[in-house]
Each structure stands twice: as structure tokens, then as C-alpha cells.
Chains A and B, each alone.
Chain A
Amino acid sequence: MFYREAGVFKTSYAADMALMPLPNTRWAVVALAVLFIGITPAFADEYTLSILNLILIAVVGAIGLNILVGYTDQVSIGHGAFMSVGAYTAAHLITKLHAPFWVSVPAGGLMAAAIGTVVGIPSLRIKGLYLAIATLAAQLIIEWTINHVPWVSGGTQSTIQVGPPSVFGTKLTNAWQMYLFLMFFVILALVGTQNLIRSRIGRAFIAIRDQDIAAEIIGINIFRYKLWAFAISSFYAGVTGVLYTYYLGIANYEQFQLDVSINFLAMVIIGGLGSTLGPVFGAIFVTLLPIVTRRVLESAGGLFFSASDLSAVIPSLRLAIFGGLIIFFLVMEPEGLNRLWRNIRNYFRVWPFSY
């Protein structure tokens, strides 16, 4: 389109290792940063920001799950529970020790990573569906523990109230402040993952995913790296849980149940396994789709249904459309939305020529 990359003219290691080798990538990132950090919080209304905030939180969790599922090919349907581990750890630190966010967020992540590592131990022996069931057990055990140990849950209703985080002495109470706060963690997660997969650890993950026996033969300690994958992925999940806690103002395990784990798996699969951008697309898609379908049904549904039926029809139809669209996108592009985006990009890359 506006540029053609031609050949490799790198003369230094620094240039070779650059995160964004092409100048126009850098410009695109700068433009996106201005749009999402400068313009959006200033002009978007509170409702739009509340949707964006939910998306941002989902993005962190989806990126984390993708490290495990997409890059290392280990399944986990216990991520909802890891989020609750992060949430309760942070909630206790905040309410009992008045921990600031820069303590509670990593602490929640680390606690989830510790539990996730333990859950990941069976991954050396079992794979695929069997591993999925093992992680499902973790989900149920953690839920049960929180429900039955008041010391963890903070009382019979298992709810701990938490104040808003404060940054440089300012309490973040507005939607746009929260937006920027969450955006900070999304950027950390994105840059962190992008760098992680280029590192020794990330390449080991990919080797294990592609062929674990071959990976073992070339000297990768499979057990260690599988546990690393579980730990890092659970760390992200724990951070997601803490962000949820800050955003909602409460920690409550009932919002991290099995359907949440499944939802995050859906995000990763719809977005595209094994890419950094995929989970971002997936999180946007899964969060936004029900909202958009409802909005469309509200304005177009009046043509087909009476107004009194509409409130009963919309929720059911919305679920059907949600499921249908997921199937549609997966059939159209089994490798996910990220592949779809790459196809479009590749088309415009050589545009107006065909190759």
C-alpha cells in the first residue's frame, strides 16, 4: 500500500532484536496509543468506557490463557478459579494491610501463579482432554475452598469489599481514570507477552507445542517449561482477578465460576491460538457481541415481534445469534479472527497488485 518491505538490511543486533522492525509499525502503534490513551478517555461517554473497561480486563486474562493454550498447547479450564485466587489475595491485602495497587496486583498474580503451578504438575503425565479434566478439578476445589473457609472468603457471603485503587494519592473513581489504570496493565501484558515469546522460555513453549518429544530430545526440560507456562498464565489470570476486584469494588467467587473459564477459552480460540493479537480480538469479540446483538435486536426486532414480546425474545435470540456467529467465524476462518486480520492486512500490503 504505502510501503513495501524489501530484503533484510539489518546491520546490528539491536536492529535485529527490535520489537517493531518496520517504521510504519511504530507509527501505527503511536497512532493507536494516541487514539486509545489520549483521545478515547477524553471523549468517550461513561457507558462506552464501562464497556471498554470490561474488554480491557478480559484482554489481560485472554492473553494469559493464550500463553498456556496457544503457545504451549496445554488446556486449562480452571482459569476462572485462578482469577478468584488473585481476587481474594488482593482483597485481603487491601482490606487488612491497606496495600497499594502496586503491591496487591503482583501479589494476586503471584499467589495465582503458585496455585497454578501446583495444578500444572499433572501436565507432565497427562495431555489434552485428560489435562482439561484435571484443571476442571482445580476449578471446583478452589471454589469449594473459598466457599467453606471463612478465613479465605471473609465471611459467609464470600464477599470482600474493596475501595478504588489510588495512584499518586488520587483515588481512581471515574470511569476514565479506571480506563487508563486498566490500559496500563493491558500494555504491560501485551509488551510482556510479545517479549516473552521471543525469549528462551517462549521458544521452549513453542517447541513443546509443536512436538514435545522432539523438544525433549533437543534438550528442553519439558516438565520445567510446562510448569513455567502454567505459572505465567496463572499469573496473568491472577492479575485479571485483581483488576476485576478493583473495577467492581468487591471480590466474590461467584463471578469466577466455570462459565468464566469457558468464556476465556472461547475468547482465545475465536481470537486465534498462538498469537498476541488474537486474544485481544477474541476478548473484544466475546465481550462486545452480546451487547451489539442486543442493540441490533432492539432496533430491528420491532419489525418482527410486538413490543411486549420483545423483552422475552431478545435474551433468547441473543444467545442463539451469539452461538451462531461464533460458529460462522470459526467456519470462515478456523485459525481465528487474528488470521482474518492477517489476510486483510496481507491483501492491502501488496495492494493494488495481486502479489
Chain B
Amino acid sequence: MRHLTAGTLALAGFVVGGLWFAGGADAQQKEILIGSQCDRTGPTQLVGTIFCPAVQDYVNLVNSKGGVDGYKVVINELDNNYQVPPAIEEYERHKQQGIVSTLIWGTPQAEALNPRLEKDRIPGTSPGFGSAAAANGAKYPYLFPLAATYWSQGAAGIEFVKDKLGGSLKGKKIAYLYYDNPAGVEPLPILKELQQNEGFELRTFAVPPPGVEMSAQILDIAQRYRPDFVLAHLFGRAPSVMLKGLKSSGYPLSKVLGFVWASSEADIAAAGGWGVAQGYHTMQFVGVGDDYPVIQDIKAMYQKAGKPSPKEMETSVYYNRGIQDAAVHIEALRNALKVTGGKPPTGEDMKKGFEMIKNFTLEGLLPPMEVTPADHEGGGWVQIFQVKGDKMVKETEWFRGYRDLVLKSVNAAS
């Protein structure tokens, strides 16, 4: 047994070692490498399993059309399981492979990677993740949220509610139902300030993680407080529990607005299907559905290869967000190649490329972002989609709320 053990271990060591070095060889000429972190197995797998294939699909689409100025784009995806140490390890691996920019996955991961991005001068995108203060490009030079932060979402939410309730919020009651973690708490300062300015009544209802039990909060909202509108900022399984709960307690979902992580087809399916969620308003930072040329292009690409359209497209909210995250990198690369005159860009060139993004909407899929060295959020645009029948219908155009207040908070944040 002992001999066997030592021998087996040695053999296993050799095999692993051999494969390790066999796996080390990559990188060719005329290729641009972009890193991507994902979570397909951890707590955010509901999003990751849809989002990350979309990233690959978009890059394949770009490559099938000849790449970017003759460069083939390679997205190298690694799974960080929503944990910080693997995120660090994977970032270092990507860096060693020579990435020019990276897609970050997860809020603590974005925070932990930020000092490294700045040191190594490699820009990273964190749409829908990370702290709202990262919108400030002067303080976070290499971190690009590139989507409405929680502050922008809070402000836009109030703007939408104001519009819905007839233009004035004076004396109205608004309930804020939120997941009790840092991301859930983040919009509160904005909401409280708006409460002062607009004169509405605000009551907060915290849902403790993991967010699958909120019957007390639901009853409180539906039976006792009876607000004029509910803002729901929930994650994971919590949105579906909320939809089911509010529906069964008789509160009309047409008076509920879900923030960006409480707003996908998957949440509605988990709540019991479209019938349950009729009237529910959802906030989006990327368009919903397949009625966009780029989505049709991807379908055509699959058709050409003789394959059916990817099943991930059914959850178009997350799929389209994956497209967005990949697309901004490609657009930044395009801009960076203009800066370098066709030479392979560095991370710094890519940063400039990101900061030149303007008038890039993929025909309505993305908001009219304008990224500047000061504003890495790109304006903080959102769109509201409402559940009608068995799909989400566009309810507003791209808009944003109380931009001055949000910008003031961003600049005041350390």
C-alpha cells in the first residue's frame, strides 16, 4: 500500500505537470486578448450561465465579420465562483497572457481588482456590479461601470414613479424593499435625499440574505403600509419570491418597479410564469427581447452553422447584458486602434478607447452612452419595460433621473 501510494502520487504529479505545461502555449499574431471572469457555478450562476455565453457569441460574431481592423479578438473566460481569491489568481493569469482589458464579475471582486487594474493599467468593466462611486473616472481611472449604478437606478426609479403618480410625489407613500447587503443599502442615501426634496414618505423593508423568506415584509407592505409604489432592489431568488408574495397578497404588480437585478425573464418564470407577473415594471440598462439587429445577426450566424439559436436567448435580459459587456470592449478596441493607428493597443490605449465611446447604441440595444474621462458610467441611462402578456414591453425611452443629485453624490464620495 505504501509503495503504491508513493508511486501513484509521483505518477499523478508527472501527469499533472505535463498537462500544465502543455496548456501553457497560446497567443498568436494578429490576436487581441481580452480577459473575462464569470460565475457559472457559484451564487450568481443564474446570471452567469446566460451572460457569459452571450459574451462569447458576440465576439464570435465580430470575428466572423473579419474581426476588428484585421485583428481577431479572443475572449478568455475563467470562472471565479463569485469568490475573491480566485478572481485575483485569474486576473494575474490573464495579465500574464497579455490581456488589454478585462470583464469583471462581482461586486467584491471589482473592489478587490481595482487597485491592481490601476497599477497594471488594464481597464476593467463592471456593468451592474461594483460601487456607485466608481462612476467617477478621476478616482477610479481603470474601472468602468458603463451602466447605471445603483445611485442612478434609485434616482431613475423615483423619476419614473413621479411620472406614474401624476407628476408630483408630495404626500405619496413609497416602499423600498431591498436585499440587506451593501449593494441593497447603496441607493438609500439618494432615496433619502430625494424624499426631502420631493416630500414623499419613504419606508424601507430589508430582506435578509439569502432573500427567500420575506412574508412578513410582504404582508407589511400589502396589508398595513399600502404604499403608492414599491421599489424592489433584490437579487438572486428574492425577486421571484417577492412577485409571488405580492401577487398572492393582492397587491397590484403594476405598482411595483424592480431594479436591474430583479427584472429578468428567469425571475418571472421562477415566480410561476408570465400570468403571475402581469403589470410588473422592470428597470433595464440594456434593451430586452430579440428585436435588435445584433441579436438577429447572432441568430443568422448560428443558422449558417446549421445550429438552432442559443437557448440562452430566452432569458434576453441577461443575454443582452452579456452582449453589452462584450460590445463595449470591442468598441473600445476599435477606438483604441484609431488612437494607435492600427498597432496592437496597450491597456492605456484601451482606457482611451473606452473614454471615447459615444453614439454607440447597436441600434437601440444600448443606451445613448457618452463615456468621458470623468464619467465612467456613461450617463446612467435606464429604460423601463413592463410585463404584458408573455413578454416585456418597452414602456419608456432611455431616460435618467435627477442627474445633478447623482453626480453630486459621485463627486462627494471618497
Q: Which of A2-10, A45-53, A102-110 contacts B (4 or more CB under 8 A)?
A: A45-53
CB distance A250 to B112 under 8 Å?
yes
Q: Does A291 contact B (CB under 8 A)?
A: yes
CB distance A46 to B92 under 8 Å?
yes
CB distance A308 to B95 under 8 Å?
no
CB distance B111 to A252 under 8 Å?
yes
Contact of B182 among A46, A54, A58, A158 (CB under 8 A): A158
CA separation between A157 and B2, bound complex, in Å?
A: 53
CB distance B83 to A259 under 8 Å?
yes
Q: Does B233 contact A (CB under 8 A)?
A: no
The minimal Cβ–Cβ distance linking B402 to chain A, given in whole angstroms, is 18
CB distance A47 to B84 under 8 Å?
no
Residues of B109-157 whose CB lies within 8 A of A: 111-112, 114-116, 119, 131-133
Name the residue in A161, A300, A311 with the highest tally of chain B Cβ atoms < 10 Å from its Cβ.
A311
Q: Does B52 contact A (CB under 8 A)?
A: yes
CA separation between A248 and B109, bound complex, in Å?
A: 10
Residues of B21-73 whose CB lies within 8 A of A: 22-23, 38, 40-41, 49, 52-53, 56
CB distance B89 to A312 under 8 Å?
no
Q: Does B78 contact A (CB under 8 A)?
A: yes
Which A-chain residue is minimally distant from B55 (CB atoms)? A311
Q: What residues of B have a CB within 8 angstroms of the CB of A291 in the complex?
A: 89
Contact of B95 among A46, A250, A312, A315 (CB under 8 A): A46
Residues of A309-349 whose CB lies within 8 A of B: 311-312, 314-316, 318-319, 332, 340, 343-344, 347
The minimal Cβ–Cβ distance linking A75 to chain B, given in whole angstroms, is 23
Q: Does B358 contact A (CB under 8 A)?
A: no
CB distance A47 to B111 under 8 Å?
no
Q: Does A214 contact B (CB under 8 A)?
A: no
Q: Does A177 contact B (CB under 8 A)?
A: no
CB distance B40 to A296 under 8 Å?
no
CA separation between A290 and B38, bound complex, in Å?
A: 15
Given the known A-B contacts A45-B96, A290-B86, A312-B49, are A299 and B112 also in contact in the complex, defined by CB atoms under 8 Å? no
Q: Does B88 contact A (CB under 8 A)?
A: yes
Given the known A-B contacts A47-B93, A158-B182, are A315 and B79 also in contact in the complex, defined by CB atoms under 8 Å? yes
CB distance B108 to A312 under 8 Å?
no
* Total cross-chain contacts (CB, 8 A): 121
Given the known A-B contacts A296-B16, A312-B49, are A248 and B84 also in contact in the complex, defined by CB atoms under 8 Å? yes
Q: Does A212 contact B (CB under 8 A)?
A: no
Contact of A308 among B3, B56, B114 (CB under 8 A): B56
CA separation between A308 and B54, bound complex, in Å?
A: 12
Q: Which of B184-192, B282-290, B384-392 contacts A (4 or more CB under 8 A)?
A: B184-192
Q: Does A203 contact B (CB under 8 A)?
A: no
Contact of A248 among B3, B88, B89 (CB under 8 A): B88
CB distance B131 to A318 under 8 Å?
no
Q: Can you list, as one digit per residue, whether each of A194-238 has a CB less than 8 Å from chain B (1) or not (0)?
A: 000000000000000000000000000000000000000000000
The tally of residues in B whose CB lies under 8 Å from a CB in A reads 52
Residues of B340-390 whose CB lies within 8 A of A: none
Given the known A-B contacts A255-B83, A312-B49, A343-B5, are A50 and B111 also in contact in the complex, defined by CB atoms under 8 Å? no
CB distance B83 to A299 under 8 Å?
no
Contact of A51 among B78, B89, B414 (CB under 8 A): B89
CA separation between A312 and B53, bound complex, in Å?
A: 8
Which A-chain residue is minimally distant from B18 (CB atoms)? A299
Q: Does B77 contact A (CB under 8 A)?
A: yes
Q: Can you list, as one digit per residue, whether each of A4-40 has a CB less than 8 Å from chain B (1) or not (0)?
A: 0000000000000000000000000000000000000
Which A-chain residue is minimally distant from B23 (CB atoms)? A299
Given the known A-B contacts A248-B112, A299-B19, A347-B6, are A173 and B81 also in contact in the complex, defined by CB atoms under 8 Å? no
Contact of B78 among A173, A294, A300, A319 (CB under 8 A): A294
CA separation between A46 and B49, bound complex, in Å?
A: 30
The minimal Cβ–Cβ distance linking A216 to chain B, given in whole angstroms, is 40
CB distance A47 to B92 under 8 Å?
yes
CA separation between A156 and B132, bound complex, in Å?
A: 10
The minimal Cβ–Cβ distance linking B182 to chain A, given in whole angstroms, is 5
CB distance A156 to B180 under 8 Å?
no
Contact of B115 among A51, A248, A254, A332 (CB under 8 A): A248
The minimal Cβ–Cβ distance linking B211 to chain A, given in whole angstroms, is 14
Q: What residues of B have a CB within 8 angstroms of the CB of A153 in the complex?
A: 182
Q: Does A287 contact B (CB under 8 A)?
A: yes
CB distance A249 to B182 under 8 Å?
no
Chain A interface residues (CB < 8 Å from chain B):
45-47, 50-51, 54, 58, 147, 153, 155-159, 161, 173, 248-250, 252, 254-255, 259, 287, 290-292, 294-296, 298-300, 308, 311-312, 314-316, 318-319, 332, 340, 343-344, 347
Q: Given A254-B182, A299-B20, 6 other A-B contacts at CB below 8 A?
A: A46-B96, A147-B182, A147-B185, A254-B181, A296-B19, A311-B38
For the complex of A and B, list the 6 residue pairs with the smallest distance between their C-beta atoms, beginning with the closest: A249-B115, A299-B23, A315-B79, A50-B92, A255-B84, A254-B108
29 residue pairs of the A-B complex, CB under 8 angstroms, read A46-B95, A50-B89, A50-B92, A54-B85, A54-B89, A58-B85, A156-B182, A156-B186, A156-B189, A157-B111, A157-B131, A159-B131, A159-B182, A249-B116, A250-B115, A254-B107, A291-B89, A294-B79, A295-B20, A296-B23, A299-B22, A299-B23, A311-B52, A315-B81, A316-B41, A340-B5, A344-B2, A347-B2, A347-B6
